[in-house]
Amino acid sequence: MCGIIGIVSREEDVVPRVVDGLKRLEYRGYDSVGVAVVSAGSLVVRKSAGKLADVVRKAGISRLSGGICIGHTRWATHGPPIDVNAHPHVDCSGSIAVVHNGVIRNFSSLREQLESRGHTIRSDTDTELIAHLLEEGLREGLSPLGSMARALSMVTGSYAIAVLFSSDPGRIYFARMHSPLILGLGEGSNAVASDVTALLDVARRVVPLNDGELGWISATEVALYRLGGNGELVPISPAELASRIKVIEWTPESASKAGYPHFMIKEIYEQPQALLETYNGSVEDPSLARSARLLVDARRVYVVGAGTSYHAGLVFSYMAATLARVPVYPVIASEHPYMGNAIGEGDVVIAVSQSGETYDTLEAVRDYKKRGARVIGVINVVYSALDRESDISLYTRAGPEIGVAATKTFLSQVMLLELLATFMAEHSGALTGSEALEYRRKLGKAPRITQDSIAASDPVARFLGERGSYKSVYVLGRGLGSSIAKEASLKLKEIAYMHAEAYPAGESKHGPIALVEKGFPVFMVATSDSPHISGNAMEMSARGAEVVVTKPADLSLEIPRGIKVIDLPPSQGFLPYEPFILTPFYQLLSYYSAVAKGYDPDKPRNLAKTVTVE
């Protein structure tokens, strides 16, 4: 999704710093890049479709200098990814530059009105309209801040914007509504950006902005306001601003590749550490016991998320039912609007989101709250919107995840949610206190088991991935294995561009098996709750499928000859270990398949790390 960064400094050094920030935003997914600087009193804009390094070179960005600069990575929503649609966008006079993340909903009517008032709109974007609205405000004699308030009260939709006015060359103006934006407070320089990752080299102290806030930063000052219902500016006091300052613990090193060829493989290998951090940070966190009480006593429990986070929710729903005997309804965030009517007072929803900024998840959460439900957030990015909007926040501690594919955050979510299920089991009476404690003690070994699984999986996954013959595959599992299969197939699709379809293995004979013919690849995710998956493997094999069964080594299955079995580390019959044992193989298979085909696993086509649009 689009990324924004703006830096204003006492030194004339900000252009390379903005480019570095854009580099850190690349992981969000983008198709175009641009910057604007104020140099000798005039605004200079350089932008183009393409990759950051190419645009910096061909658009001459590295030759620009100045003490104030805004930059943008664009992920196309309004209009194709062509040069003219890249941000920043300027007004008719070329003296106001705007970068934007979000979608302006009343785009068509605004465009018509602006054109009828004589503005020349050059791009297909909604963003350019903001520049023209600001221009009108200045023409009416308003200050830059006044023109921001005027323009923003005319637009509907979502935005995080940063603006340069050449008439006010020492300040970056900004505003936020339903799209993430964070202020970074540095020494002799201040910044604004879409996320903390972009600010790691600029500032340790940050202020996450709330919806409806706007203001400006200079090299040494910050002014923050709330936009009132009639477009009036309500100042936010310096004391309130100071009370909202947070200190970032992530380091620039944690967001670098550290010698690995790609972020994805680095993050796969970081899983044992991420799990250890998540375990240590959660196992005695009183918020887990508090959440568990809320969940067990709830009228109904839902778990909502998108993509991989939804799959972690599926694992949770399985664990809550089997371990704690609490039914949990899993909900795909974007589908929530069609089934929200059933929600009411007494319900609790667990919202799972790595970024804490996914539009669909946030919208679902807002609706749950409106209907009276309580919200427990499971979040990796602290101070994100979900963190701020949850009644209770539970943190995975996976560190920054840059690769578009969720890997270490998935298993960290599973770790946290499995721990939560043990607290629920204790509260529901399904486990005694000492049994629950024993479960948690055992979960402390999951980081080590994951490390063993990565070591065992890597050579086999590399061999199969490099063979590169898979175009279309089934990934089948039963019970817990069917949720892991869903995550495996998502990885194969998004990273290796393979048509991978996950099915509960028992369901496969109700239709999907019709596709199976000689040589059709079928991966089986065998878990110890469902040994009869061997029957499904035989059914597939009997129809000529090339079956590969992945399983914990100590799970004994009756598997006839001719079916390939990949034995991964043993689970000692402890089912909660099995996501940690089975998932890395599929992450690595996706990674090596993508690399073998020449795809970039960190930036798969058409995808964004954080999906902040509907």
Residues at the interface with ligand M6R (CB under 6 A): 306-309, 353-355, 358, 361, 404-406, 490, 494, 607, 610-611
Closer residue to ligand M6R, CB minimum distance, 19 or 404: 404
- Tell the smallest beta-carbon distance from residue 306 to ligand M6R (Å): 4
Residue 2 designated active-site: yes
Cβ of residue 250: shortest distance to ligand M6R, in angstroms? 16
User: Would you say 192 or 351 has its CB closer to ligand M6R?
Assistant: 351
What φ, ψ does residue 306 adopt, rounded to 5°?
A: -125, 150
Q: CA 150, CA 148: separation in Å to the nearest integer? A: 5
**Non-local CB neighbours of 335 within 8 Å, separated by 6+ positions:** none
Distance, in Å, from the CA atom of 529 to the CA atom of 323, rounded to the nearest integer, reads 13
Residue 33: both structure tokens together: 């890049």
Phi, psi of 237 (to 5 degrees): -70, 155
Residue 525's contacts (CB-CB under 8 Å, 6 or more residues apart) are 475, 476, 477, 481, 482, 484, 485, 488, 550, 582, 586
d(CA 179, CA 87) in angstroms, rounded, equals 16
**Spatial distance between the Cα atoms of 128 and 125, rounded to a whole number of angstroms:** 6
Amino acid at position 288, single letter: L
Closer residue to ligand M6R (CB): 14 or 411: 411
Shortest gap between Cβ of 127 and ligand M6R (angstroms)? 23
171/190 Cα distance (integer angstroms): 10
Nearer to ligand M6R, 125 or 450 (CB): 450
CB of 83 to ligand M6R, least distance (A): 28
> 202 with 20: CB under 8 angstroms?
no
Q: Are 387 and 381 in contact (CB under 8 A)?
A: yes
Bridge-based pairing state of the strands 213-217 and 205-208? unpaired
Which CB atom, from 418 or from 602, has the smaller least distance to ligand M6R?
A: 602
Quote the least distance from Cβ 308 to ligand M6R, whole Å. Answer: 3
The residues, any chain, with a CB within 8 Å of residue 514's CB and separated by 6 or more, are none
- The DSSP bridge partners found for residue 163 are 98, 173
Q: How far is the CB of 417 from ligand M6R (least distance, A)?
A: 13
Q: Give the whole-angstrom CA distance, residue 514 versus residue 492.
A: 22
Distance of CA 591 to the CA centre of its chain: 19
Q: How far is the CB of 353 from ligand M6R (least distance, A)?
A: 3
Which residue in the list 2, 266, 491, 551 is annotated as catalytic?
A: 2
Give 355 or 571: the residue with its C-beta nearer to ligand M6R: 355
Q: What are the phi and psi torsion angles at 51 (to 5°)?
A: -80, 150
Using CA atoms, how far apart are residues 587 and 454, in angstroms rounded to an integer? 10
Nearest residue (CB) to ligand M6R, 361 versus 393: 361
- Which residue, 328 or 431, is less far from ligand M6R as judged by CB? 328
* Closer residue to ligand M6R in complex, CB, 442/493: 493
Q: How far is the CB of 311 from ligand M6R (least distance, A)?
A: 8
Q: How far is the CB of 424 from ligand M6R (least distance, A)?
A: 22
Of 418, 364, 351, the closest CA to residue 583 belongs to 418
* Nearer Cβ to ligand M6R (230/606): 606
DSSP conformation letters of 342-394: G--TT-EEEEEESSS--HHHHHHHHHHHHTT-EEEEEESSTTSHHHHH-SEEE
Report d(CA 329, CA 453) in Å as an integer.
30
For residue 407, the minimal CB distance to ligand M6R (Å) is 8
Count Cα neighbours of 598 within 13 Å in the Cβ-side half-sphere. 0
- Phi, psi (rounded to 5 degrees) for 524: -115, 125
Are 35 and 18 in contact by the 8 Å Cβ rule? The answer is: yes
CB of 331 to ligand M6R, least distance (A): 13
- Select the residue whose beta carbon is closest to ligand M6R and give its number: 307
3-state secondary structure 118-174: CCCCCCCCCHHHHHHHHHHHHHCCCCHHHHHHHHHCCCCECEEEEEEECCCCCCEEE
Active-site amino acid positions: 2, 609
